[in-house]
Each structure stands twice: as C-alpha cells, then as structure tokens.
Structure 1
Amino acid sequence: MAPKKVLRKVGVVGYGRLGQFLVSRLLAQGSELGLELVFVWNRDPGRMAGSVPPALQLQSLDALEERHPDLVVEVAHPKIIHESGAQILRHADLLVGSPSALAEQTTEQQLLEASSHWGHAVFVARGALWGAEDISRLDAAGGLQSLRVTMATHPDGFRLEGALAAASSTGPRTVLYEGPVRGLCPLAPRNSNTMAAAALAAPSLGFDCVIGVLVADHSLTDMHVVDVELRGPPGTTGQSFAVHTHRENPAQPGAVTGSATFSAFWLSLLGCCQLPSRPGIQLR
C-alpha cells in the first residue's frame, strides 16, 4: 500500500480580491498540489459568508495554532504584519503579501528575531516586481549602485494615508512622491509593495537608498505601470551597466492589485510550500 500523502497546511489572512483568488485556487487545486486550506481569516468576518465554508472561517488570529498551519499567507494589510507577524511565526512559516510593513525597522527586527527563535521562514512575495532575482544577483555581486522604481496608475487606484491622503493631482500626470522607499511605505502602504520588494531584493541599498516614485496618471484607467531603473558603478571605460524595464499590468478600474499580480502571487505561494523552513527573510 502506498504511503498516505502528507498535505502542506495553508492558512490565508485577508479576504479581499487577492485573498479570494488564493482561497478559490486552494479549494479547487490544493489537494492535487499537496496543499490543504485549513483556515481563512478576515477582519470583517461577514465578507466570508456564503463563499468560505464555515469550518474554514477563523474567528480570531489568536486561535490559528489550533489549525496547525505550515504556512500562513498574509494578503490583508501591513497592520497585520505589524501587529501579528511575530506571533504567527511561533506556529508557521509566513508569506508576507504586504512587504511595505518591513519599512518599519522595529517590525523587521521583530520578524527576524521570531524567525530565528522559532525556526520559521519569512517569505516575501515579489508581487509586481519584475526582475527580482536579477536585482538580487547584481546586488550580491556588488554591481548595483542605484535602483529606482516608479509606479503610475489612475488616482482611484491609490489608498493613501497621512500627508499623501490630502494630495491632489494637478494635471493629467502628477508625481505624488519621489524619494526613499522607507518614507513612502507608511503613506501608501497598499501601493508601495512593489517598491518595498525592490528594497528587499537589493539589501546593499535597502529602504533608505532605493528610490520610489508614485505617479497619478488620469489616462491609466485600467492599468498599473511599473518602471524599474537600475545602474551599476562606472567601469574601466567610464560607462555603467544599466537596465530599464517597463511593465504594463492590466487592472480593473480603481483596483489596488493588477491582474498579472494574482498569478505571480499564486506562484510565490507554491514556491514557499516547496522550500524547507529556514529562518530569515527571503524574497519569493
């Protein structure tokens, strides 16, 4: 008799559009992929009514230990990582879908300490960042001098806080912010995740030296545009290695997450489940 297949148990925190997509895929394909959805949590439990089986609805994150997850996937809001990230790592690996949370140094340190203490991994989804592995390799080789990430979309696609919440686009295309990614993340926690992922991919520059640019463009009613520009130090000829990628991601009007990011996140989830649990922060 063949041995019974051991399923990797996955919990999902957040049930917005991305959370709904992941839950649907896990319910439909999880078993054949060796995955079992063991809980779904949402700040507003009513949002799960009629679509998430009652037995899978988790009423409190404090009770997630009872579901014995191997991996907890956060697709809610950076506040969840701030408030509960370290606690989740007591019981499971964590896939962070809101990497802007790591711009807060206290949170990053808490996650690193919990990861080391409990032996669980902190995975960070690359999301809409194109070329993450290439950036990491170049950075590790000492060949990265500057990195700039520009995200442009229609103003309705932004969820801004603090001083940026009162900012208005004065023309067809307005730069709302240009500066270190660390300064942008608390002002646009749901619109800076691609930039935060870039900061994590390039630790020699990090949140303080990777430049983020947020642009409100009224012509982009159904699309998110991400430009990544990087440059290496001058070589013997005085010329520098340089790369510029331009990514156009279709998106529903007013949506925070572009269409292609859904499949990218699903692949990140699958990749995490295939890796051994190793302490530390790893971009996936």
Structure 2
Amino acid sequence: MKIIQSPAEMQSVAQAQRREGKTIGFVPTMGFLHEGHLSLMHSARARCDVLVASIFVNPTQFGPNEDLDAYPRDFERDEKLCREAGVDFLFYPTPENMYLDGHSIWVDEESLSGVLCGTSRPGHFRGVCTVVAKLLHIALPDFMVLGEKDAQQLRVLRRMVRDLNFPVEIVSGPTIREPDGLAKSSRNKYLRPEERAEAVCLFQGLEKAKELYSAGEREANVLKNSICEIIRKTSGSIDYVEIVDDETLKPVQTLNKPVLVALAVRFPGARLIDNAVLGK
C-alpha cells in the first residue's frame, strides 16, 4: 500500500491506472476506522482492480460549535487496518492541500440537504458535497462505496453525482452494528458507559417501528410516537425523528411507498444518527 498526501500525485496515479484499463474502487473516510468502514473496503476490494481509500477530517463540514478539533484520529492504526483490508493507495491529504488559500468554489445541493441533519447542521452538506466532488476528481474512481448509516449523505451524494454527471457508480453498504444493535460510529467513543448503555434506544426505536409496520400500521405519527416514547426514557434529547419519502426526503403522513425512518439523538457525549427503510 502506498500513502499519498498530494492531490496532484494521487490524480496522476489514478490516471495511470485508468490508462492501463484498471477499475478503481474508492472508499472515502474521515479515519478512526471501525468495522463499518472496513466492510465498505472489503466490498470494494471484491469488485475492483485498484482500491483507493481516503482519510481526511474535512473541516468544511463541521459547524462552529462542533467537534472538529476533538474528532478522534489515529492514523497509525488506520494505516494498519487499510493495509489489512487490501487498500492499494491511501490518500491522506492535509486541509491546506485540499483547500488552497483563497478557496472560493463550493458545491451546494438545494433539495435533499435542507431537512433532517441539514436543519440542525447548516452548511454541513455543502462541505460534504464540496469535498467529495474534489475527492472524485482526485481519485478518479469507477465506483465509490458509501455506508447506509449516513442515509441522508448517501442520498445527497447520489443526487450530486447524477446532477453533475460524474462518471461514477454509487454503491451502498449496510450499516454494521454492535451486538446490542447500536450502529458502529467513530463518535461512539465519546459516550460515557451509562450513555453507551442508553444509546441502543435508537436501534430499539427503529425495531419498534418495523414491528408496527409489519403488523399493518401505516400512519407515520403512530410510528414516530412509538420511537419517541422509547428515546424519552433515556438521557438522550431528540434532535429529530422523521419519516420521509425514501427518494425526496419529504415528510409523509401515510406510508404507501418506501420511506426512510431517520433519527438523530443527542447524548451529553455525542450526537448519534440511525435509520431504517420501510416498504422496500
């Protein structure tokens, strides 16, 4: 595995691989890797000639009061895990390399990004879209693998790739969970033991919604109330519990086509998200 920090060098390497007719798979991450990230790398490795992964804690997707400086980092551990996962090129740029002095161009999605996490994290998806657009131009992949845990991000980036005609296939990988159901996340390490025990409420709420849906319930408010009831028994505060159209992310009242059930809950140690799709 080769570690590359320069965007120009990474792009040159990718161009050389493509000239040789090789298929490039790409997994973008912010590091502090866990089994969820590794599952995406294994999925990509199985279907490409060259696997590129990136580790970049993107400053432009963090708000003024968010955890950029405290975001967990462990490059030596991440490097080892990438090698074991079969990564060929690990792109590890600095913020100064990715955002040159005077940077003034942004990619802003205006339909899917204004709801859910976009409401409480203004500017977040502008940062996400901009950095991923840059990474796609740098790594030049045939396909990119993204996790389904970040459901809104997955849909926003699919829309960006579609609307800006990126010649890239978006492949999704399932959410990887702890034995008790909590979705794997780099932010889980922020949780105190008592918060960690309570954090399973997100998964329990989704399971309750699935149970009600399987029993024939189709009213969104009934499902939402059942989820909120479970979360309110914990120290977590609800950022949002929403049931939205799986494609447009617009709220629905009655479930008569596929919907995304999306949750965000704030604990003193961390803000956690989770989701499930019903009706597919």
Per the normalisation by structure 1, the TM-score is 0.34
Per the normalisation by structure 2, the TM-score is 0.34
Identify, as 1 or 2, the structure richer in strand.
Answer: 1
